[in-house]
């Protein structure tokens, strides 16, 4: 069995914030997430499911609206 490497990408979240005219600071305030978590997301690093759920609740959206999964083979799949 081969293990496929995947990466996360938060471009959909940043686009959604623009559409809703919200800043990252306002998102932090609405969700009570740490500044370091926003930095992780800006660097496309993994964050906890709890953080993603809080963002979805605050923005009234689904996971696929805020995160994209990138496969090593270059394919993309919404979260």
**What is the structure's pLDDT at 47?**
96
Query: What does the pLDDT look like over 31-66, one tens digit per residue?
Result: 999 999 999 999 999 999 999 999 999 999 999 999
CA distances from 74 to 5, 24, 29 (A): 10, 28, 34
Percent of the chain residues past pLDDT 90, beyond the cut: 78
Q: Residues 44, 8: contact at Cβ < 8 Å?
A: yes
**What is the structure's pLDDT at 74?**
59
Phi, psi torsion values for 7, nearest 5 degrees: -130, 155
**What is the structure's pLDDT at 50?**
97
pLDDT of residue 75 exceeding 80: no
**What is the structure's pLDDT at 4?**
58
């Amino acid at each position: 069995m081969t293990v496929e490497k995947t990466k996360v990408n938060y471009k959909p979240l940043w686009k959604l914030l623009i559409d809703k005219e919200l800043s990252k600071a306002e998102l932090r305030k609405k969700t009570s997430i740490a500044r370091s978590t926003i930095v992780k997301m800006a660097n496309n690093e993994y964050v906890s499911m709890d953080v993603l759920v809080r963002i979805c609740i605050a923005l009234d959206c689904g996971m696929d609206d805020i995160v994209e999964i990138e496969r090593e083979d270059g394919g993309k799949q919404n979260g």
